[in-house]
Amino acid sequence: MRRAWPLVALVVACAGGELDQRRADTVAQPFSSPPLAVDLDPRPDVVKIALRAAPLDRAGTRLGYNDLSPGPTVRARVGDTVELTLDNQLAAATTLHLHGVHLPYAMDGDGHGAPPVAPGERFTYSFVADRAGTFWYHPHVGAVEQVRAGLYGALVIEGPDEPRLDELVLIFSEVPGEAWDPPSHAHARPLSIEHRRGQSWLVNGARSPLLVLASGSIVRARMLNASSDVPLRLTWPGVRLIATDQGLLPSPQELDELALAPGDRAEVEWRIGPEPFDVLALPDSTVGPIAGEPVAVMSVSPRGGLAAPEPLPWGAPAMPTVDPARAPDAIWVLTGAGVGSDLRINGERFPDVTPTLAPRDRDFVIELRNLSSSRHPMHLHGHPFRVLSIDGQPPPFDSWEDTTELEAFSTKRVLVHPDLVGEWMAHCHLLTHAAGGMATILSVR
C-alpha cells in the first residue's frame, strides 16, 4: 500500500487578535494547499490520476482540473510509473504539458509530438519519474487563455533520501481581471500590457491568506509562479533556498529575495520561530524592478513560543567541473520586447523555424543572447540544463534548471545533455511572447 504523504501541521485561521491591525487589514482569506490528486491504482509503484479539464463557471471564463484551480497536486516518487489521463471537457482543444519533467517526446504535451486532445476526448500521458523536484502541469495549446483562466497544478516527485518534513505547495497566480499600472515616472516610455499586469497575487487561489504554523517546526515550501506573463520577486526574513527547477542545490543559499519568473519553481526552508512574518512581493515587471511599495501576498503566524530550529543539512552531490568559457555549439538570439513587437529567435518566428540539431547523448552548449529591452524566461522542454555563465561570469550558485530568465541585453551559456530523441520546443515562458513567435526547436537525433 502506498504510504501517506506528509501534510503540513498547520492551523488555518482568519486574521484575528494575535495579529496587529496592519496584518489584520492585509489578510483576507484562510490558507489551504491544493488537495492531493487521488491515486486510482493500488500498486505502490504506479501513480494513476484522472484530470478532467472543464469550466468552473457558466460563462467558461474560469477553468480548472477536477473542479479546482489550481488543480490537485500530483505526487510520485522517483522510480514510479506515472499515468495522467486528461479528459477534455472544454469547448476547445487542449494538452497537458508536464513542465520540467524528463519524459518521452510523445508524452511532452507540446501539441506537436502528439495531437492536441479534442473536446470530449481523452489522452493518457505516461512516464517513469526519474528526477526529484517540484514540477507542474498546464496546457500548451491555447496556453495564454487557458493558463490565465486557471488551468495549472503542481507535480511533485520525491527523492529517496530526502528529509521527511511537513510540506506546503504554494502556487502564485494573478488576480483574475485585475490590472496594475506602475507610477508614470517608473519608466520613460509606455509599457505594453504584459508589463503592467498582475501586481496583485493569489496564493493557491486565495488572496493574502494567513498560515498559522507551529513554532519550533521546519516546513519545506515548494513555490511556483504560474502566471502567464508576470515575474514575481518575493522576500521575507531569512530567505533560504534549498532547490530550484530541477531539484536540490549542492548547498542551500541564503538570499535577500527570491526571483520567480513565469514557469519558475523554487523550494525554501521555513524555520518557524515565535515571530510572525509576511511574504512580500516586490514591485517588478518584465523590463525590470519598478518603483512602488512591497505588497504582502501571504502571512505566517506562529502558534507557540518556541525558538526556530537549526537549519537542516540540505544538499545534492556536487556538480562536475565544466569550462564556463567552452565555445557554444549553438547560439539563440532573442529579439522583440513585447506584444506587438517582432518577437523572434535567430530572426525566425515559430513555427517557421530552423531546428537546432543536437546529437543524442553528448554535452551541448547553447548561448542565449537577449538583444531586447525585456526579460525573457527561456524554457526548454524535456531536458534540464546547467547555467555555465552569465555575461561571461560564473553564476552565483550551481543548479539544474529548465527555465532561466535572461535580463535585458544579457547573455547566458547553458549546458544540456540531450538524451531523448524528439523535436523539443524551447520558448520564452511569457506566454504572450511564445504565442507571438518567440520559440524554436532543439532537434535531438
Average pLDDT of the residues in 206-222: 95
Q: DSSP letter string over 165-225?
A: -EEEEEEEEEPTT-B----TTS-SSPPPHHHHB--SEEETTEESEEEEEETT-EEEEEEEE
User: What integer pLDDT is reported at residue 429 of this predicted model?
Assistant: 98
Q: What is the pTM of this model?
A: 0.91
Evaluate whether 425 touches 439 at the Cβ level (below 8 Å): yes
Collapsing DSSP to helix, strand or coil, 251 comes out as strand
- Which of the four pLDDT bands, split at 50, 70 and 90, describes residue 180? very low
Please determine, for residue 398, whether its predicted confidence score (pLDDT) is greater than 60: yes
* Sign of the dihedral through C-alpha 257, 260, 264, 265: positive
Name, in order, each residue with C-beta under 8 angstroms of 43's C-beta and a sequence gap of 6 or more.
none
- What percentage of residues in the chain have a pLDDT greater than 70? 88
Please determine, for residue 2, whether its predicted confidence score (pLDDT) is greater than 90: no
CA distance 170 to 168: 6
Nearest to 415 by CA among 395, 445, 441: 395
| Domain 31-158 is found in CATH 2.60.40.420 | yes
CA distance 220 to 168: 6
CA distance 42 to 142: 35
**Nine cell digits for residue 159:** 527523492
Evaluate whether 177 touches 207 at the Cβ level (below 8 Å): no
Please determine, for residue 40, whether its predicted confidence score (pLDDT) is greater than 70: yes
Nearest to 84 by CA among 34, 131, 134, 153: 153
User: What integer pLDDT is reported at residue 199 of this predicted model?
Assistant: 57
Average pLDDT of the residues in 56-68: 93
Q: What is the residue-averaged pLDDT of the chain?
A: 89
Question: Which range, of 126-135, 182-191, 214-223, 237-246, averages the lowest pLDDT?
Answer: 182-191
Please determine, for residue 192, whether its predicted confidence score (pLDDT) is greater than 70: no
Evaluate whether 433 touches 336 at the Cβ level (below 8 Å): yes
**What is the tens place of the pLDDT at every residue in 401-434?**
999 999 999 999 999 999 999 999 999 999 999 9
**Nine cell digits for residue 76:** 510520485
| Cα 332–chain centre separation | 23
- Which of the four pLDDT bands, split at 50, 70 and 90, describes residue 178? low
Evaluate whether 63 touches 54 at the Cβ level (below 8 Å): yes
| Cα 251–chain centre separation | 21
Lay out the sheet containing 166-174: strands in order across: 206-207, 201-203, 166-174, 218-225, 265-271, 239-244, 247-255
Which CATH number applies to 166-303?
A: 2.60.40.420
CA distance 146 to 132: 27
Nearest to 97 by CA among 89, 107, 82: 107
The residue count for the chain: 445
289: part of which helix (H) or strand (E)?
none
CA distance 294 to 439: 33
User: What integer pLDDT is reported at residue 189 of this predicted model?
Assistant: 35
**What is the tens place of the pLDDT at every residue in 223-269?**
999 999 999 999 999 999 999 999 999 999 999 999 999 999 999 99
Backbone angles phi, psi at 411, to 5 degrees: -130, 135
Write out the CATH class of domain 330-444: mainly beta
- Which of the four pLDDT bands, split at 50, 70 and 90, describes residue 326? confident
- Using alpha carbons only, what angle is made at residue 148 by residues 144 and 152, rounded to the nearest 5 degrees? 100
What is the location of CATH 2.60.40.420 in the chain? 31-158, 166-303, 330-444
Nearest to 406 by CA among 251, 244, 264, 281: 264
